[in-house]
């Protein structure tokens, strides 16, 4: 059974600081997705990582995938308040099936 | 281009009542999905469809049925609602298995 675990589950950080969210998964998969959810809102796609070593960056966020370690990271550089949200990683259940297993989510709070 | 829309946005049911949630997408996507999100948890896949006329079970299908009679619509039915089905329901669609899923705004369902 595929399990996806994120840590930390809650992160409070100061503006301007850097931090990394980790996403570990339990079985082989080479497709991983990162989503953002604002309180009471829907999910917004951030990154799609489709191969080992994939790295993608958008603004202050950078995501990477290591399929051998079954690990993805979401790195936040010089955090700003607007990045406050819950971040989910999701892994394709058996590789290219579209059946995603989501992590529990990491709630990020950026304080001025 | 409305993207993915869901009807209704909110609903309160009594135990044993039935209802249908409607999801519509105008992006001509082949793949559609129904998820539920419970507090402190990530999303869990209920059912999904890989094309018009097809449906398949996800992680937590019990107590739900689905139909995909038209490519743009994906219906989720609860035949006999139970309090355990109180949740926020999200519909999503994707162009291909390798692409990100686009999520609707969600339906908040309470079963009393």
Taking contacts as CB-CB distances below 8 angstroms, the residues of chain A near B105 are: 41-42
For β-strands A10-14 and A106-111, DSSP reports them as parallel
Q: Pick A99's closest partner by Cβ from B58, B103, B104.
A: B58
Q: Per DSSP, what are the bridge partners of residue B78?
A: B19
Check if the beta carbon of residue B20 is closer than 8 Å to that of residue B107: no
Q: Which of A43, A54, A65 to mutate: most B Cβ within 10 Å?
A: A43
pLDDT at B97: 76
Continuous segment of H or E residues that includes residue B59: none
* Burial profile A71-101: b = 16 or more Cβ within 10 angstroms, e = fewer: ebbbebeebeeebbbbbbbbbbbeeeebbbb
Terminal C-alpha separation, chain A: 41
Q: What is the pLDDT along chain A (112 residues), one digit of tens a residue?
A: 789 999 999 999 999 999 999 999 998 887 899 999 999 999 999 999 988 889 999 999 999 999 999 999 999 999 999 999 999 999 987 666 778 899 999 999 999 8
Q: Which two structure tokens, joined as six digits, stand for B32? A: 């559609």
d(CA B51, CA A35): 24
Check if the beta carbon of residue A80 is closer than 8 Å to that of residue A110: yes
pLDDT at A95: 60
Instruction: State whether residue A11 is helix, strand or coil.
Output: strand
pLDDT at A96: 63
pLDDT at A98: 77
Q: What is the 3-state secondary structure (H, E, C) of B90-106?
A: EEEEECCCCCCCEECCC
pLDDT at A51: 85
Identify the segments of chain B with pLDDT beneath 70.
Answer: none
Nearest residue of chain A to residue B39 (CA atoms): A104
Q: Pick A42's closest partner by Cβ from B40, B41, B106.
A: B106
CB contact under 8 A, A104 and B41: yes
Count of positions (residues) in chain B: 112
Q: Which residues contact A63 (CB under 8 A, 6 or more apart)?
A: A34, A46, A47, A49, A55, A56, A57, A72, A73, A74, A75
Q: Pick B100's closest partner by Cβ from A45, A99, A101.
A: A45
The answer, for A39 touching chain B at a CB cutoff of 8 Å, is no
Please report the residues numbered 48 through 87 in chain B whose beta carbons come closer than 8 angstroms to any beta carbon of chain A. Answer: 48, 50, 58-59
């Amino acid at each position: 059974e595929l399990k996806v675990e994120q840590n930390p589950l809650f992160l409070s950080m100061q503006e301007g600081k850097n931090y990394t969210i980790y996403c570990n998964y339990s079985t082989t998969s080479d497709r991983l997705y990162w989503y953002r959810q604002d309180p009471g809102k829907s999910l917004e796609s951030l990154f799609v990582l489709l191969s080992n070593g994939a790295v993608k960056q958008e603004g202050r966020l950078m995501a990477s995938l290591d399929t051998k370690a079954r690990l993805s990271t979401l790195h936040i550089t010089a955090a700003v308040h607007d990045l406050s949200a819950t971040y989910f990683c999701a892994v394709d259940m058996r590789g290219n099936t579209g059946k995603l297993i989501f992590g529990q989510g990491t709630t990020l709070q950026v304080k001025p | 281009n409305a993207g993915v829309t869901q009807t209704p946005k909110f609903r309160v049911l009594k135990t044993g009542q039935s209802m249908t949630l409607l999801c519509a997408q105008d992006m001509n996507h082949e793949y559609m999905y129904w998820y539920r999100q419970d507090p402190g948890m990530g999303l869990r896949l209920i059912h999904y469809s890989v094309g018009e006329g097809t449906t398949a079970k996800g992680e937590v299908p019990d107590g739900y049925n689905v139909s995909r009679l038209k490519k743009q619509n994906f219906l989720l039915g609860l035949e006999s609602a139970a309090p355990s089905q109180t949740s926020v329901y999200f519909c999503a669609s994707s162009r291909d298995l390798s692409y990100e899923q686009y999520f609707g705004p969600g339906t908040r369902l309470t079963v009393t």
